[in-house]
Amino acid sequence: MLNGPPRRLGGPDSLARARLRDWVLVLGMHRSGTSAVTETLTDMGLQEPHPADLLVGHPGNPNHHESRSLTAFDEELLAALGGSWGAPPEVGDGWELSGLGRDWTAAAAQTLLGAYPRPDPAVVKDPRMCLLVPFWLGVLGRPKGVLLMWRNPGSVARSVANVSGWPYVHGLALWEVYNRQLLSDLAGQNVFVLSYDDLVADPRAFAQDASAWFDSLGIPDASRPLPSPRTELRHFQDDVGSEDESLLPAHRELVRTLKALGGHHPTFSSPTVPACTAWAAGMLSLRRQYETAHEQVRSRVQTEAELGRLGTAYASLASAVREAGVVPTLPQVPDEA
C-alpha cells in the first residue's frame, strides 16, 4: 500500500480539466519500440510533451517522447507502492480508490496538464504506466484510445541487459509481468495492438490502420502521412517468428496470444493468460527486497553524513563564539565534597 502522500497535490479542478482532454496512451514494456511508434503518432498530429519537459535520450534514441515530470511522478508512485519499474510492486485490487490514492489522482492530473499545456489531442507514453493502468484510468476516466506495443521477449530481455546491466532472465521476467498486466487491465478500453516487428517491416500498413483508428476515435488530422520509423531503429528489427530456446511454454503462449490480438479492438476483451511463472515472481520479489534494503542503507549514509556536517558546524560556531569573546568565560566552580 502507499507509503506516503505525493510530493505535490493538484488543484481542485485539475481532475475535471484532465478528463475533458483527448488522450491516447502508448503502453508497452521498456525496449519494445514505444518511442518509435510514439514519434509516428506525433507526426500524425498528436501533441507530445512541452519541449522544456521532454526527457532527454541517448545517441541511439535521442527523443523518448516522454515527459520528465510524468516519468518522475510514476517513479515516485511506484516507490510509494513498494517497488520500481525494474521491481514491479505487489498491490491489491482497488488500491487506487483509497484516500491516499485519491490524493495521488489529483496530483497525476495536475502533472499531465503541466506536461501537455495545449488543449489539443495528446499522446502520452511512459512504460511505467503499464504497472499503473487502473490508477491512470481513474485519472483519465476513459482515454480516447490505447496503443499496446509489444516486442519479442528475447529481444526485450537482451536490450534490457545491455542497457541496465541486469541478467537476461530479469528482463524476461519483466517482459512477462508487464504484458500480463496490460492484457488484464485494459479490458473494456479502445485498444490497438501492434508488434514492433510489424511496425518496422511495413510502416505504411500501420499508417493506414492508424489513420482509420484515429478517424474512429474522432481525432482530427488522422489522414496525415506517416513517415517511416527512424533509420537508426531498423537494426533492432527482430527475426519475425523466431523463438528463443530460453523461453518457457508460458512465454511462448503469451507471444501467441499477443500475435493473435493484432489490430483494433473497439472494446478490448482480456484474454486468458498463463499464471506468472514462479521463477519470475521470485526473482522480482528478491529485486524488491534488494532495492528496499539499498534505499535504507542510502538513507542511513545520508543521515550520518548530515549529522557529521551539523556536528562540525556546531563545533566551529562554538569555537568562533568563544574566540570572539562574545560570551564571557564563566569561572569554574569547584565540585562539592
Query: How open is the CA angle 76-188-277, to the nearest 5 degrees?
Result: 60
Residue labelled with grid coordinates 485519491: 102
Mean pLDDT, the chain, integer: 85
Q: Which residues contact 33 (CB under 8 A, 6 or more apart)?
A: 149, 151, 196, 199, 200, 233, 236
Asked if residue 226 has pLDDT above 70, the reply is no
Residue labelled with grid coordinates 511508434: 37
Per-residue pLDDT band for 60 (boundaries 50, 70, 90) equals low
Higher pLDDT, 275 or 143: 143
> Up-side HSE of residue 214: CA atoms within 13 Å toward CB?
26
pLDDT tens-digit readout, 77-118: 999 999 999 999 988 787 787 776 677 898 999 999 999 999
Instruction: Specify the pLDDT at position 334.
Output: 66
Higher pLDDT, 271 or 311: 271
Which CATH number is 14-276 given? 3.40.50
Per-residue pLDDT band for 64 (boundaries 50, 70, 90) equals confident
pTM of the predicted protein model: 0.83
Identity at 5, one-letter amino acid code: P
Asked if residue 239 has pLDDT above 80, the reply is no
Q: What percent of the chain has pLDDT over 90?
A: 52
